[in-house]
Chain A
Amino acid sequence: MPRTRSLLDLEHLSRDDITFILKLARTMHTRAPRPRLKGKRIALLFYEASTRTRVSFEFAAKLLGTHTSIISATASSVEKGESLVDTGKTLQALGADCIVVRHPSSGAPYVLARNLRVPIINAGDGMHEHPSQGLLDAYTILRHKKSLKGLKVTMIGDIQHSRVARSNIHLLSKFGAQVVLCGPAELLPETALTLAPGLKIVRHIEEAVRKSDVVMMLRVQKERLAGLNLDSEKYHIQYQLTLDRLKLAKSDAIVMHPGPMVRGMEIQTEVADSPQAVIEEQVHNGVYVRMAVMSVCMGVA
């Protein structure tokens, strides 16, 4: 029997593994879907609100021929006080072959992985990582750029609270991209530089965007600010990606956003709808990347 494995983060995923998943995603994208996981049961355990990630995993799982079940924290035993570990054990006992988990606590997928036999896929844990998003972002970049090496990728906004940022930083740094981070000190502490070698912080958005190949916008995560007061008027004046600012990037630069985006806050609506924006394409590609991730994790790749 092929070996199954969990996908908990991109920090510890090797370049070879990442390349393998991205190649497989390409196959999924170009060929008609095959039910290569036919009959398998996938539990989608969502402790946090989600539209795109949940539906993306669900469609991906169904295209692979699996049975899926969605468990959300507000309509399950979790409400009755069942612990994460016990919920995971219950799903395993019910015959789940894989658990996809989204959780507000950083590290929650590790807790499941330590206690269960089935592979765990991290669909976003607190402020920690969102590995499938990092993979689909890399996949999307590679649809437009030849290679990640040497690309200037600028991430703007709430890095501190962003699991997407952490996953992207790990992946892009592994492949030699020049990652530039931009945001106010409250949302982008200097400590961020310790996350991966070669990172740079540029506080002024114009300077950060200049000559970028990729501009990645991040939402201010109001739900995670924990009492931090942010002047949203000042924020959008200083950090919003506008058409004028985008002109400073390379002419073939692409604009990305993991969603959900707040038009008029971090991104000018004209930018979100501009031909340089690949935001919907990211969502679309996500399905193929997650098909690849599930195949690899379930040992059928």
Chain B
Amino acid sequence: MKKQSLTIRGGHVIDPAEKLDGPYDILLKDGLVAEVAARGKLRGKGDDTFDARGLIVAPGFIDIHVHLREPGQTVKETIATGTAAAAAGGFTSVCAMPNTNPVNDLPAITRWMQDPERGARVNVFPIAAATVGSMGEQLTDYTMLKRAGAVAVTDDGKPILPDKIMREALLAAARVGLPVIQHAEDTRMTKGAAMHQGPTAFRLGLRGWPAEAESSLVERDIRLAAETKGHYHVAHLSAAAALKAVRRAKREHVHVTCEVTPHHFALIDEDVGEYNTNFKMNPPLRSREDRDALLASLADGTVDCVATDHAPHPQNEKNAEFDQAPFGITGLETALGLCVSILHVQENIPMRRIIELLSTNPARVMGLAHRGTLAVGSYADVTIFDPNKKWSYRAVESFSKSKNSPFDGWKLQGEVVATVVGGHMVFHSLS
């Protein structure tokens, strides 16, 4: 029998939603946050206690962009293995992209993904296809998909290209209160492209992918979002020009949000080296200037979320010609380490803001009520980490089925110690 209540004591609690940033103890009971009190005040409460001295206690991290590959591509990942990697990375909830096989464009698939039979370690919130088969022609049934548990719609992996379809999607999604997530890539400009257009692509003789392929579509979408009053969310934003468009739109109160991946703020196109396919992703690693713009916007609040775009691929598929290898890298287990090492230590971004990027804002963007906060009555999803612990990431030890990470062997600071979902410990670094 699992214990019914747990006290996390002695930790440094940071919950931007509740404006908490200090020494508090937390009582989790029956899957909810039951009490938050000054350090020592909860002594004797709870069937079990967790000693969080020297650690940061945060509302559970939420990754709004992961590819769990199930149904249909279980060689790469399953919901069970992907969420095990999520738990190890401190994520208590993940939003699963619909580019599975079949595409998640039906309520039955959305429900199937959430079935306990899948063996998920953390909360799984499916994101449904915005169009049937993600073919970009006919909208799916947003009302029914939302009822089945979908938290957003997207054709991720592909853009929603025609103006007409994007406008219809924004209108339909606004009616039911779902965000439309755009994979902003004008594919007419990226034919055959394998990496960012620039000196490195030229040197390697690879077809380049212009930043305008992203920014032009973001600009178009923002016009449509302003017109339709829909909620528009930019997935894996990578180009400085797209960021500029988002910043302007936010000033003009268009409902637009965006996410940035750890790899886009940690790496640049030059890092591709001599055709290392673990540095091939969509959108591609951008220029140093783009990366610096992302770092500035992560600091100043323009960027809403950090999301990993966890995209597992087996070694045999990645061990191929660069232009033939699939796009994407794993990211769940390195996200926190990269956020702490680069955003906090190197860029001096306060820890509070990092929690905002990993938990508070993701919950708000995806409309996940009672998550992304430790307010009394919210779900007992908690991430406990050591902000000072230095460690080395070893891809072979990943919980994911796939090991395609560019960060293999990286020394990182900031390690997940425990991940609590619904009051239950789903990951502990010592066990």
Contact = CB atoms under 8 A, between A and B. Distances in A.
Interface of A: 11, 83-85, 103, 105-108, 110-111, 114-115, 125-129, 160, 163, 166, 189, 191-192, 194-195, 226-227
Contacts of A227: 191
A105 B191 contact: no
A192 B204 CA distance: 11
B320 A129 contact: no
A128 B322 CA distance: 12
A106 B323 contact: yes
Given A115-B319, A226-B191, A226-B192, A107 B275 contact: yes
Nearest to B202: A191
Contacts of B206: 106-107, 126-128
Nearest to A111: B321
Given A84-B320, A106-B322, A107-B322, A189 B202 contact: yes
28 contacts: A83-B316, A83-B319, A83-B320, A85-B316, A85-B319, A105-B321, A105-B322, A105-B323, A106-B204, A106-B205, A106-B275, A107-B205, A107-B275, A108-B321, A111-B319, A111-B320, A111-B321, A115-B319, A126-B323, A127-B205, A127-B207, A160-B202, A166-B203, A166-B205, A189-B202, A191-B199, A194-B199, A226-B192
A84 B324 CA distance: 10
B321 A128 contact: no
A10 to B, nearest CB: 12
Nearest to B316: A83
Contacts of B322: 105-107, 111
Nearest to A195: B203
B274 interface: yes
A189 B192 CA distance: 18
B198 interface: yes
Contacts of A192: 202
Please give me the 10 A-B residue pairs with the lowest Cβ-Cβ distance, nearest first: A128-B205, A107-B275, A127-B205, A105-B321, A194-B199, A106-B205, A191-B202, A107-B322, A108-B321, A105-B323
Interface in B250-301: 274-275
Given A83-B320, A194-B199, 7 more contacts: A83-B319, A84-B320, A85-B320, A107-B206, A107-B274, A110-B274, A125-B205
Nearest to B208: A191
A150 B84 CA distance: 62
In this complex, the member of A84, A106, A160 whose beta carbon has the largest number of chain B beta carbons within 10 angstroms is: A106
Given A85-B320, A226-B191, A226-B192, A110 B202 contact: no
Interface of B: 191-192, 197-199, 202-207, 274-275, 316, 319-324
Contacts of A160: 202
A128 B275 CA distance: 11
A126 B323 CA distance: 10
Contacts of B323: 105-107, 126
A126 B192 CA distance: 12
Contacts of B192: 226
A114 B325 CA distance: 15
B314 to A, nearest CB: 12
Contacts of A191: 197-199, 202
Contact of B321 (A107, A129, A163): A107
B121 to A, nearest CB: 33
Contacts of A125: 205
A123 B357 CA distance: 49
Contacts of B203: 11, 166, 194-195
A198 B203 CA distance: 15
Contacts of A110: 274-275
In this complex, the member of A107, A115, A195, A227 whose beta carbon has the largest number of chain B beta carbons within 10 angstroms is: A107
A21 to B, nearest CB: 21
Contacts of B202: 160, 189, 191-192, 194-195
A189 B202 CA distance: 9
A114 to B, nearest CB: 8
Contacts of A115: 319
A128 B198 CA distance: 14
In this complex, the member of A103, A163, A194 whose beta carbon has the largest number of chain B beta carbons within 10 angstroms is: A194
A10 B321 CA distance: 20
B207 A107 contact: no
A84 B321 contact: yes
A112 B319 CA distance: 10
A163 B205 contact: yes
Contacts of B207: 127, 226
Contacts of B199: 191, 194-195
